[in-house]
Structure 1
Amino acid sequence: MVDLTNKVDVVYHMAALLSFDEDRKEETFHVNVEGTRHVLEFSKQIQVKKLIYVSTAYTVGMDVVGHEQLYSTNRDYVNYYEQSKAAAEQLVFSYKNDFEVMIMRPAIIIGDSKTGEADTNFALYGLLKGVRIVKRMVGSDKPFRLLLDGETNSNLVPVDYVADVLSCAIEHGAHETIYNITNNHPLQNKVMLEIIKKALDFPNLEIASKDLLHTLTKEELILHERLRVFENYLSRSIQFESRNTSDLLKAANIAELDLDKDLLEHMITSYLKPNLVLQ
């Protein structure tokens, strides 16, 4: 076996089980907390200089303001995934005397901002896939209601932007510091839906109040049930502090994210091109 002692400068820990399934609580904590413990112990053993842990901005739980600080785990969470990542963050900081530690907290990661490519059915792409399926079922002329709070926003960040921030941390990141990789000007859900309507040529797709749940058609209920797991994320806006990330990018001479309507439309339409297969 190769001896790696003092030969590794930086360890990135990005592996995680992203599951919102309550029945997988034990597995989620085992992978996300105990798995992190194994990485930390290995890093300590080989005497790395720096460990960068990729968490999630949603360790904020049910709060509506996200700070760049270590949260108490004595809070309410949307699901066990959030709770497990919060516990892992605490664990990472407990090794701060062994090597430099940093926590990176991306919001909802979407595809590449230039090509639109994305290899996932999660979040935005689950919505895209669901809307495309129901359009085939009901056609584009029949009104179709999506239960969604149009005034709230979803904090989306392109994967290449996340990669840029992670890369900056090697040279410019500060010990015992947390970075929110978020969008300072997130688009409202109604704007996102307008882009999806246009991209999928589904003009009769419309937002409806949750009070109308009992009036949904069979086809509308199919999409509603598909999106239920994301309901909490689609129904509240969270304001994320990102001063640390701003300083990090400034030091690396990289611009902060500006995900406006035009860029998101470009990403979605590029993703839906025939050469990009929607699973």
Structure 2
Amino acid sequence: MNVLLTGATGFLGTIITNRLAEKGYEIYALIRNETKAKDWLDTLSLNTKKAVHFVYGDLLKPSGGLTDKRINELTGKIDSVIHSAAYLSFDDNERETVFQINRQGTRELLKLAEKLDISTFLHVSTAYTLGRGKEGFEALYQPENREFVNAYEESKCYAEHDVMSYQEKFHVAVLRPAIIVGNSETGDADSTFGLYGVMRAVELMKRHVQKQRNSKLDSFKIVVSDEEKTHLVPVDYVAEIVTGALTKSVNGSVYNVTNPYPPTNGMIMSAIRDGFDFQELEWVSFDQTEQLTKLEQKMNEPLAVFEPYLNRTIDFSEKNTRALLDRLQLNSLAMDRAMLDRIVAGFRHRNEQPEHV
């Protein structure tokens, strides 16, 4: 089977590429930047490289930027599409760009898929298209009646509707990962967002505390609700489900790729504190910010965009996902403290630099 993959050079896309190659698929990666694509290709194993073919295009252009000639060449060669490309930004000033890429780009890709006469279209969305709710369903949400945290969530919600409108033309499915983190076994990750933004802030806090060892500064506070739970999902777990859905998903279905037993934020922060050997780190809830010093307030500012994700526990239904896992003969995610430790270590090893006290 031959798969047209968007977002191949991204964090999740790279792992999806590797899994597809391991399963014997040929990958046609939709590429906009040739230089970036070639650099990315050099990071892949020889076997994966052999399975990758570049398709130059642009999702912001009609039919993904492919000429009629190129479309004719690919028609009959492409069986399926995995759309994992997205523009992840929580900046209100980028609302127009977010919608152009995440919604209009999806629309153009659907048109291209129809011209290519593909059989299956998988859309990688986000679990947070539920907006500010606390209960996530495996069904489409109505964007007009929903309050969203940011334009990214909203754009992905509309894109899901666009995808589902094609289910009479070809097999479609929507996969909604929660907060993607590193490999479950190695902790390896190529990401700077989500949990990695939090760890980067902790890293900076530790450096500051070390510089102040001769002062009375004996702790540093980060704002995170201790008892709330956060749905972290390892990138390899997500990739396994996405690639498996090519043959085992049900047409018109939505899958919440979330964590059946999400860790508490206290458990996550304990793993970060110990992994960074930063015993001065403390965490307080969002209603205790008056305890923060001016310096702590300043260093917590970049984390404000994550408050809607770290200050509530969401219950996600996953009946469809469990059924898909059964068909794939895969176990549900079982994230324990040891896995969290590996994920933290993966970040530290990638970013570790000699520290000067």
* Larger Cα-atom Rg: 2
Q: What is aligned with 2:222? A: 146
State the 1:268 CA deviation: 1.2
Mapped partners of 1:71, 1:210: distance in 2: 28
State the 1:7 CA deviation: 2.6
Classify the secondary structure of the residue corresponding to 2:351: coil
Contact 1:131-1:223 at 8 Å conserved across structures: no
Q: What is aligned with 1:253? A: 329
Q: Quick check: 1:231 aligned with 2:304?
A: no
State the 1:137 CA deviation: 0.8
Contact 1:55-1:104 at 8 Å conserved across structures: yes
TM-score, reference length from structure 2? 0.75
Classify the secondary structure of the residue corresponding to 2:321: helix
Mapped partners of 1:72, 1:34: distance in 2: 18
Q: Which moved more, 1:219-228 or 1:98-107?
A: 219-228
Q: Quick check: 1:81 aligned with 2:152?
A: yes
TM-score, reference length from structure 1? 0.95
Classify the secondary structure of the residue corresponding to 2:233: strand
Mapped partners of 1:278, 1:90: distance in 2: 43
Mapped partners of 1:108, 1:175: distance in 2: 25
Q: What is aligned with 2:90? A: 20
State the 1:230 CA deviation: 0.4
Q: Quick check: 1:277 aligned with 2:351?
A: yes
Inter-CA distance 79–101: structure 2 relative to 1 (3 Å threshold): same
Mapped partners of 1:246, 1:13: distance in 2: 22
Inter-CA distance 270–28: structure 2 relative to 1 (3 Å threshold): closer
State the 1:278 CA deviation: 5.9
The answer to which structure, 1 or 2, has the higher relative contact order (CA under 8 A, 6+ apart) is 1
State the 1:261 CA deviation: 1.5
Q: Quick check: 1:105 aligned with 2:181?
A: no
Mapped partners of 2:253, 2:169: distance in 1: 15
Contact 1:147-1:224 at 8 Å conserved across structures: yes
State the 1:19 CA deviation: 0.5
Mapped partners of 2:247, 2:96: distance in 1: 36
Q: What is aligned with 1:120? A: 191
Classify the secondary structure of the residue corresponding to 1:127: helix
Stretches of 4+ moved more than 4 A in 1?
none
Classify the secondary structure of the residue corresponding to 1:85: helix
Contact 1:249-1:256 at 8 Å conserved across structures: yes
Classify the secondary structure of the residue corresponding to 1:8: coil
Q: Quick check: 1:94 aligned with 2:165?
A: yes
What does the per-residue CA deviation read over 1:225-252, in whole Å, with 9 as the maximum and x for residues that have no partner?
Answer: 0100101100001011111111111111
Contact 1:129-1:278 at 8 Å conserved across structures: no
Q: Quick check: 1:65 aligned with 2:141?
A: no
State the 1:148 CA deviation: 1.5
State the 1:38 CA deviation: 0.5
State the 1:215 CA deviation: 4.1
Coordinate RMSD, CA, aligned: 1.5
Classify the secondary structure of the residue corresponding to 2:191: coil
For 1:17, give the aligned amino acid.
Y
What does the per-residue CA deviation read over 1:138-167, in whole Å, with 9 as the maximum and x for residues that have no partner?
Answer: 237611111211110110000000000011
Contact 2:181-2:343 at 8 Å conserved across structures: no
* Unmatched tracts of structure 2, length 5 or more: 1-68
Mapped partners of 2:312, 2:141: distance in 1: 20
Number of positions where the alignment pairs a residue of Structure 1 with one of Structure 2: 277
Mapped partners of 1:185, 1:237: distance in 2: 12
What does the per-residue CA deviation read over 1:13-65, in whole Å, with 9 as the maximum and x for residues that have no partner?
Answer: 11111000001111111111100000000000111001000000000111111
Mapped partners of 1:211, 1:267: distance in 2: 29
Aligned residues with identical type, % of pairs: 40
For 1:277, give the aligned amino acid.
N
Contact 1:137-1:219 at 8 Å conserved across structures: no
Classify the secondary structure of the residue corresponding to 2:147: coil
What does the per-residue CA deviation read over 1:41-94, in whole Å, with 9 as the maximum and x for residues that have no partner?
Answer: 000011100100000000011111111111111211111100000000011111
* Unmatched tracts of structure 1, length 5 or more: none
Inter-CA distance 90–278: structure 2 relative to 1 (3 Å threshold): farther
Q: Which moved more, 1:62-71 or 1:155-164?
A: 62-71
Mapped partners of 1:77, 1:8: distance in 2: 35
